[in-house]
């Protein structure tokens, strides 16, 4: 029995979760911008998924939300006065800016960082590179607090190395693990790291999307490979199909997911599927288990159905060798072609044998499915012991966190509520208590006086 694991660290939904239409290129975010949100339900849906996975025997961790509205950003942008005065001014002068600094978007921790397990890196340490998320202003303000949370969660320098975000400019646009997968035999044996990008920043002769932005560049991924000390022969780069970005596939994890020796993806996902397969097979080399390519054809599921159902934004988790379970959002069950495909998949010879459905509607309405909500970290048994022990999900934390949500969260938020100074106070009170529940220390600017 191999005691290494791939742990999932889910972002706990913050108290200001709302729909503001902030993500051009993300169809759900644009479509639901006028809706009222329910932060309490959102947080509870996330906690229920975390608890269910922990109960299924998977290592499940929790990453704390960020301070929102983010007053330090507003001060940086020239607003002065007390917190309440600043909220009043920004509401009057730049209401869209207030929605941007109030987003609870850090819940999608697949975008928090790129993670290279210690089996892949030259120095034998586990490396984190926080993502700059530069393409969207509301997300570009996440990386500093994300880095503080990751450092507080994976603190021991003997095992964990943290890199700051790449330069915050389009040329190095980095969306983290949403565009990164890793193929391996066991979680603690050397893997093939697979980096997917939307465009080459310094080479405009290569195809690019024309309608929606390519958020992630090849150059960003190349920099991560250098920093993490990955072996060239064990790294594969692939370009996303620009046409699917233009259809609304803003991250590769909306159209592909990989785990151990399985790559599950749509026929249209990559610019050159054949090359992607050949490159992965070459890097996979003479490992003993076969590398499975599970390619879903257009005729079974259209790109449109992928975007609406989030079929590929599922979590592909190993129950044992060649035995995987797929964690999908309820929208998959509601999309007939997808549901039928999944029935056929689980009875086929592919290693995906079970499907589990979760209601994540609050997050889904902003374009965030099960896979967006989690950051994967493959850990050896020793590294697992070195993780901050209070961030693991278990019966006690589940009970405590549900109680904490009930105590502090509202069950309805619309855009005008974001101007309420009381909401800021409520959020800070909640987060202050959370840092104690998760033993994180003082990670938020408001805690630093």
253 touching ligand SUG, by CB under 6 A: yes
372 among known catalytic residues: yes
Site size for ligand SUG, by CB under 6 A? 23
To the nearest whole angstrom, how small is the minimum distance from the Cβ of residue 26 to ligand SUG?
4
Q: What is the 3-state secondary structure (H, E, C) of the chain?
A: CCCCEEEEEEECCCCCCCCCCCCCCCHHHHHCCCCCECHHHHHHHHHHHHHHHHHCCCCEEEECCCCCCCHHHHHHCCCCCCHHHHHHHHHHHCHHHHHHHHCCHHHCHHHCEEEECCCCECCCCEEEEECCCCCCHHHHCCHHHHHHHHHHHCCCCCCEEEECCCCCCHHHCCCHHHHEEEECCCCCCCCEEEEEECECCCCCCCCCCCCCCCCCEHHHHHHHHHHHCECHHHEEEEEECHHHHHHCCCCHHHCEEEECCEEEEECCCECCHHHHHHHHHHHHCCCCCCCEEEEECCCCCCHHHHHHHCCCCCEEEEEECCEEEEEEEHHHHCCHHHHHHHHHHHHCCCCEEEEEEECCHHHHCCCCCCCCCEEEEEECHHHHHHCCHHHECCHHHHHHHHHHHHHHCCCCECHHHHHCHHHHHHHHHHHHHHHHHCCCCCCCHHHHC
To the nearest whole angstrom, how small is the minimum distance from the Cβ of residue 324 to ligand SUG?
20
Whether 108 contacts 368, CB under 8 Å: yes
Q: Which of 26, 38, 114, 146 lies at the binding interface for ligand SUG (CB under 6 A)?
A: 26
Q: Which is nearer to ligand SUG, 40 or 251 (CB)?
A: 251
Q: Which of 220, 255, 311, 372 lies at the binding interface for ligand SUG (CB under 6 A)?
A: 372
CA angle 370, 376, 378 (to 5 degrees): 150
Q: Which is nearer to ligand SUG, 127 or 374 (CB)?
A: 374
Whether 327 contacts 372, CB under 8 Å: no
Binding mask 175-204 for ligand SUG (x = CB under 6 A): ---x--------------------------
Stretch that binds ligand SUG, among 66-74, 234-242, 250-258, 404-412 (CB under 6 A): 250-258
Q: Which of 251, 266, 292, 376 lies at the binding interface for ligand SUG (CB under 6 A)?
A: 251
243 among known catalytic residues: no
Q: Which is nearer to ligand SUG, 248 or 351 (CB)?
A: 248
To the nearest whole angstrom, how small is the minimum distance from the Cβ of residue 25 to ligand SUG?
7
Q: Determine which one of 228, 251, 266, 408 is catalytic.
A: 251
Residues 6+ apart with CB under 8 A from 114: 128, 129, 131, 174, 176, 177, 180, 224, 228
Binding mask 128-147 for ligand SUG (x = CB under 6 A): --------x--x--------
Q: Which is nearer to ligand SUG, 107 or 324 (CB)?
A: 107
Q: Which of 108, 128, 284, 409 lies at the binding interface for ligand SUG (CB under 6 A)?
A: 108
Near ligand SUG in 343-362, by CB under 6 A: none
Q: Which is nearer to ligand SUG, 79 or 310 (CB)?
A: 310
Encoded tokens for 336: 């007939």
Cα 88 → chain centroid? 33
Q: Which is nearer to ligand SUG, 16 or 397 (CB)?
A: 16
Q: Which of 63, 254, 316, 332 lies at the binding interface for ligand SUG (CB under 6 A)?
A: 254
To the nearest whole angstrom, how small is the minimum distance from the Cβ of residue 99 to ligand SUG?
7
244 touching ligand SUG, by CB under 6 A: no
Q: Which is nearer to ligand SUG, 135 or 302 (CB)?
A: 135
175 among known catalytic residues: yes
Residue 157 burial by Cβ neighbours in a 10 Å radius (0-12, 13-18, 19+): exposed
302 touching ligand SUG, by CB under 6 A: no
Stretch that binds ligand SUG, among 76-84, 251-259, 318-326, 404-412 (CB under 6 A): 251-259
367 touching ligand SUG, by CB under 6 A: yes
Q: Which of 14, 21, 351, 370 lies at the binding interface for ligand SUG (CB under 6 A)?
A: 21
110 touching ligand SUG, by CB under 6 A: yes
301 touching ligand SUG, by CB under 6 A: no
111 touching ligand SUG, by CB under 6 A: yes
Residues that are catalytic: 175, 251, 372
Binding residues for ligand SUG (CB under 6 A)? 19-23, 26, 29, 103, 105, 108, 110-111, 136, 139, 178, 250-251, 253-254, 366-368, 372
């Amino acid at each position: 029995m191999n005691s290494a694991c791939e742990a999932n660290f889910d972002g706990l939904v913050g108290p200001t979760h709302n729909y503001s239409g902030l993500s051009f290129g993300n169809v759900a975010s644009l479509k639901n911008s006028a809706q009222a949100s329910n932060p309490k339900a959102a947080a509870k849906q996330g906690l229920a998924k975390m608890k269910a996975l922990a109960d299924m025997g998977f290592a499940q961790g929790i990453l704390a939300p960020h301070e929102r509205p983010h007053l330090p950003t507003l001060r940086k942008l020239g607003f002065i006065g007390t917190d309440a005065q600043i909220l009043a001014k920004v509401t009057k002068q730049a209401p869209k800016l207030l929605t941007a600094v109030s987003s609870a978007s850090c819940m999608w921790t697949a975008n928090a960082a790129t993670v290279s397990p210690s089996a892949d890196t030259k120095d034998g340490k586990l490396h984190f590179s926080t993502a700059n998320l530069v393409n969207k202003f509301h997300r570009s303000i996440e990386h500093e607090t994300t880095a503080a949370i990751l450092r507080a969660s994976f603190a021991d320098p003997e095992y964990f190395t943290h890199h700051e975000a790449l330069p915050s400019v389009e040329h190095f646009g980095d969306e983290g693990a949403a565009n990164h997968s890793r193929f391996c035999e066991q979680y603690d044996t050397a893997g093939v790291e697979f980096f997917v990008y939307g465009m080459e920043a310094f080479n405009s002769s290569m195809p690019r999307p024309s309608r929606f932005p390519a958020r992630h560049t090849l150059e960003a991924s190349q920099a991560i490979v250098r920093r993490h000390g990955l072996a060239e022969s064990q790294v594969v780069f692939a370009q996303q199909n620009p046409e699917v970005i233009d259809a609304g596939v803003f991250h590769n994890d909306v159209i592909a997911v990989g785990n151990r020796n399985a790559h599950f993806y749509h026929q249209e996902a990559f610019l050159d599927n054949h090359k992607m397969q050949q490159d992965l097979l070459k890097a996979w080399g003479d490992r003993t288990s076969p590398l499975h390519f599970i390619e879903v054809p257009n005729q079974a599921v259209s790109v449109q159905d992928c975007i609406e159902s989030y079929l590929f934004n599922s979590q592909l988790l190993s129950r044992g060798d060649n035995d995987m379970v797929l964690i999908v959002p309820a929208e998959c069950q509601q999309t007939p072609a997808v549901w039928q495909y999944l029935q056929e998949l689980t009875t086929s010879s592919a290693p995906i044998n079970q499907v589990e459905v979760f209601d994540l509607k609050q997050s889904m309405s902003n374009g965030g499915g099960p896979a967006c909500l989690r950051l994967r970290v493959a850990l050896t048994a020793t590294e697992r012991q070195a993780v901050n022990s209070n961030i693991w999900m278990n019966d006690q934390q589940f009970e405590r966190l549900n109680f904490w949500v009930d105590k502090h969260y509202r069950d309805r938020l619309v855009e005008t509520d974001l101007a309420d100074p009381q909401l800021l106070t409520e959020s800070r009170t909640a987060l202050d208590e959370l840092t104690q529940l998760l033993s994180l220390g003082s990670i938020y600017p408001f805690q630093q006086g």
